[in-house]
Amino acid sequence: MNDEGGTAPTADDDTAGAASAGASTDAATPEAALVATAHAWLAQDPDGETRAQLRAVIERAEAGEDDAAADLADRFGGRLAFGTAGLRGELGAGSNRMNRVLVAQAAAGLAAYVRERAGLAADVGEDEDPDTAPVVVIGFDGRRNSDVFARDSAEIFAGAGLRAMLLPRLLPTPVLAFAVRHLDAAAGGMVTASHNPPNDNGYKVYLGGEDAGSQIVSPADAEIAAHIERVAAEGDIAALPRSLAFAHAPESVVEEYVAATAAVAPAPEGADGLRWVYTAMHGVGWETFSRILEAAGYPQPVPVAAQLEPDGAFPTVAFPNPEEPGAMDLAFETAREAGAELVIANDPDADRLAVAIPDAGADGGWRRLTGNQIGLLLGWRAARLTAEAGAPDGASLACSLVSSPGLAAVAEHYGLDAHATLTGFKWISRAPGIVFGFEEALGYLVNPETVRDKDGISAAIAMLGMAAEARGRGLGVADLLTEFDATFGSFASDQISVRVDDVSTIARIMAALRAEHPSAVGGVAVDRVDDLLEGVDGLPPGDVLRLWLADGSRVVVRPSGTEPKLKLYLDVRGDSPDDAAARIGALTDGARALLAGID
């Protein structure tokens, strides 16, 4: 999937003829219609690898092989949906895969939306001033074809009369989010699949202006999707105007991000001698992060050498997500050998942060902190600093509604507002007066005036600052967790993820829970149930059920937005850490039993 050049190749005669047949609607059978659709796709595909891949499947399907027909049905029976998370899916040929055809259609649709939003005509006019055209900035990570998808996008944006700016090299997602604001761009596109499996890729969209560099929300997602569908219906991406008159964003954009992020937490005295380990998880975080460490004055880490440089094959991990079992094993091994005090990990596009600390009782002597534990510590830091600086009216801490309610206790302690939003930083970043936001899936927004999205690098700097300050007092990160409990109460959380092969299973479970609300979970009565499809607490409608139990515990049930999973989020508040641990254990057992009882 790496043919060079900006336009589709000329189709072979047999491919072109089949493409014409693909435009017909009178195919004799569903199988023949699929083959015709595949030929039509083949005719416009500019990528040699996916053309060869699809041609082989077509030949097998035309020979009557059932598995090939099923393969075509999977590739063309649907289309990767463009929504508030943008696009994300497996690389390959077909409308239900990530590829150059789909990305070109998405870029053209986004370009049309940007023009429409700016009050420009659909087509570029001769009297348009290119110097005043809306800016669109494009970034890309180290996954397979990310650079190709980014260049295709830049050419299409430029061809649509926009000022397209491509980031100078592969860089973390937070740098793209920063660049949207820094360059006063109308929109930004980041080619990444974050922590998804190695053969996935994706496309995140950010908006400038009144959206302040946040990811898209409704109705922008539907409006962009409508433009993409129109482009796809027109049928040939080779007809899309392209231009090489795009610019590369200056290196100063990265330098400004480095400076702003280093200023989040300059190294305190306790940083001297701090021994810690870092892994980039085969992603793009290290080159930028290392520059920030130097600027902020922190000692360099002991790196997990095998995972430090970008590698889209992710050779040492089955699933490049630090939350997944085994993903941080090499980091723990390195930490044991180095006698480290702390492990810091970014996911492949460096928008998430994982932290681990020594724990003699844990497997291998290291324990990864939960996203809630990290979020509560960083929220405590942000609240304290805000209060010390004189908190402005309306200053707030925000988290997703599936994240720990402990953040609201921190906000109350410091006289700040608290907001619980739908999941995703597209919502968290829009919380009024936000000074800090997080979600339990290892996402943290610590510098909202710089990046209106989760940022694993700025969060890492803030975490290093906390660890160094504690070290200066003769304490470790585990002691900070103890201090948090003593100050705000003992909160405990757990999560149950149910991965399914058939996504209809998730809809069936949600429907069953809505049809008959559970009366108890783990022997504790359910006081009330919030169905967010009906709108609750002023939140936009969402496919979420929230169960409030008589003892103050909470169970939230929702489908994953990016994977075929049903997720349950469990939260308790105990009288002590031991009490909280006992309560969360009982609640988890009860939630599993609840799921097992659904036919």
Query: DSSP H helical segments within 160-201, as ranges?
Result: 173-182
Amino acid 15: pLDDT: 39
Q: What's the rounded Cα separation, in Å, for the pair 166 and 140? A: 9
Return the biggest CA–CA distance within the chain. 78
Helices then strands (H, E): number in the chain?
A: 18, 22
Q: In terms of CATH architecture, what is 490-596?
A: 2-Layer Sandwich (3.30)
Residue 277 dihedral angles phi and psi, to the nearest 5°: -120, 145
Q: What's the rounded Cα separation, in Å, for the pair 374 and 351? A: 14
Catalytic residue among 194, 214, 404, 493: 194
Q: How far is CA 49 from CA 2, 295, 368, 436, 591, in A?
A: 7, 43, 40, 44, 46
Question: Count of alpha carbons within 13 Å of 598, Cβ hemisphere only?
Answer: 18
Amino acid 28: pLDDT: 64
Question: Count of alpha carbons within 13 Å of 226, Cβ hemisphere only?
Answer: 9
Query: DSSP H helical segments within 263-370, as ranges?
Result: 285-296, 329-338
| Domain 78-249 grouped into CATH 3.90.1420.10 | no
User: Do the beta carbons of residue 407 and residue 438 sit within 8 Å?
Assistant: yes
Residue span(s) of the chain under CATH 3.30.310.50 come to: 490-596
Amino acid 27: pLDDT: 56
Q: What is the CATH number of domain 371-488?
A: 3.40.120.10
Residue span(s) of the chain under CATH 3.40.120.10 come to: 78-249, 256-366, 371-488
User: Do the beta carbons of residue 396 and residue 419 sit within 8 Å?
Assistant: yes
Q: What's the rounded Cα separation, in Å, for the pair 372 and 390? A: 26
- Residue among 568, 571, 569, 567 nearest 553 (CA): 571
Question: CB atoms < 10 A from the CB of 429, how many?
Answer: 25
**Residue whose entry in the numeric block shows the structure tokens 């900070």:** 480
Q: What is the DSSP letter of 466?
A: H
Q: What is the pLDDT of residues 219-269, one digit of tens each?
A: 999 999 999 999 999 989 999 999 999 999 999 999 999 999 999 999 998
Q: What is the DSSP letter of 532?
A: G
Amino acid 270: pLDDT: 85
Q: In terms of CATH architecture, what is 256-366?
A: 3-Layer(aba) Sandwich (3.40)
Amino acid 540: pLDDT: 86
Amino acid 537: pLDDT: 80
Q: How far is CA 132 from CA 120, 160, 225, 227, 416, in A?
A: 11, 14, 26, 23, 41
Strands, E, within 467-522: which ranges? 490-499, 520-521
Low-confidence ranges of the chain (pLDDT < 50): 1-26
24 is catalytic: no
Amino acid 539: pLDDT: 87
Q: pTM score, two decimals? A: 0.92
Look up residue 22 and give its two tokens. 């693909």
Amino acid 5: pLDDT: 37
Amino acid 18: pLDDT: 37
Look up residue 538 and give its two tokens. 């002023």
Q: How far is CA 529 from CA 544, 547, 586, 590, in A?
A: 10, 5, 20, 16
Amino acid 599: pLDDT: 67
